[in-house]
Amino acid sequence: MAGRYGGSAIVSLVDVVAAFREKVALRGVSLQVSEGEFVGVIGPNGAGKTTLLTVINGLRTIRSGRVSVLGRTADGGNRHALRREVGYLAQVENIDERTPMTVRDVVMIGRYGMLGLFHRPGKHDWAVVDEVLEMVGMSHLARRPIGHLSGGEQQRAAIARCLAQEPKLFLLDEPTAALDWKAQAGILDLVRRIHDSRRLTTLFVTHDLAALPLACDRVVLMKDGLIRDEGRPASVLTNQTLSDLYDIPVSVVRERRRETIPA
């Protein structure tokens, strides 16, 4: 997939070691992601999945190894510039229902980084905000206080915030946790549609097999800070590999997956 980055990987991690509060979260991870790929990362809690994402967007510094994202190294003065091009959807945090911001205000935050200091959002920025809200199906709630939304609606608003950033790379950390089945299906569908229509490169992290988008190009299995296996969903998501990953017997429901996994 040759593209803007000279055919090389858009994300490249080589032997990355990262620690978080005395705990080694990544113990030598190497991962290459090509432009336009949709990669699902799955593994039990504490596998290092969130750390993987935060190393990629430079929120967390590494102990050793090399990280290159969008042609930059994710360190030092580069970090702010890099993050402006990376949409990062962090795990859900509670929002106080009295928070004095509307949905539009929160989505606009996505554009604050690229606007730069001393620049206020202009007409064009608000137009982009309204457009992405439309895209995630939230136009009717645009002027609601952010704290009044349901869990699913808040995730849609957060996705809109990432899109307002017009990112090249989209990182999602458990975007469907704490959502019911219907909301979960809606978010998964939305993420895949956005990936296709905006020609993004997407990394999607989850601990829940059911929340893994069915149409991943590639699945990465993580456990104890290491990548255990990776490949096409059909070859990686077997009863054996998943049972090893989660330390309990898992059986994959093939009937549900067969239709959508690319051969």
Partner 1 sequence: MDFSVFGYQFMQNAILAAFLGGVACGTIGVFVVLMHMPFIGVAMSHAAFAGALLGVWLGFNPLIGAFVFSLVAAAIIGPLADRGGLSPEVSLGVIFSLMLGIGFLFLGLMPGTRSTALELLWGSILTNSSSDILVLGVVAAIVVGLVAVFFKEIQATVFNRNIALSVGLPATVILYGVLFLAGATVTASLRSIGGLLIFALIVNPASAAYQLTYSMKRMFLLSAVFGVLSGWIGLLVSYVFDVPSGATIVITSSVIFILAAVFSPKHRVRHWQAEAAVKE
Binding site for partner 1 (CB under 8 A): 21, 57, 59, 80-84, 86, 88, 90, 93, 96-102, 105-106, 109-115, 117-118, 120-121, 145, 148, 161, 165
Q: Which is nearer to partner 1, 133 or 219 (CB)?
A: 133
Q: Which is nearer to partner 1, 128 or 221 (CB)?
A: 128
Q: Which is nearer to partner 1, 103 or 242 (CB)?
A: 103
Report, in Å, the least distance between residue 43 CB and partner 1.
22
Q: Which is nearer to partner 1, 97 or 208 (CB)?
A: 97
**How far is residue 77's CA from residue 164's CA, in Å, rounded to a whole number?**
23
Collapsed DSSP state (helix, strand, coil) of residue 102: strand
Rg of the chain, C-alpha, whole Å: 18
Report, in Å, the least distance between residue 226 CB and partner 1.
25
* Paired residues of 201 in beta bridges: 169
Q: Which is nearer to partner 1, 63 or 119 (CB)?
A: 119
Which residue blocks in the chain are alpha helix, DSSP H? 49-56, 78-84, 103-115, 123-135, 151-164, 181-197, 233-236, 239-246, 254-258
Report, in Å, the least distance between residue 81 CB and partner 1.
7
**How far is residue 212's CA from residue 191's CA, in Å, rounded to a whole number?**
11
Report, in Å, the least distance between residue 79 CB and partner 1.
8
Report, in Å, the least distance between residue 122 CB and partner 1.
12
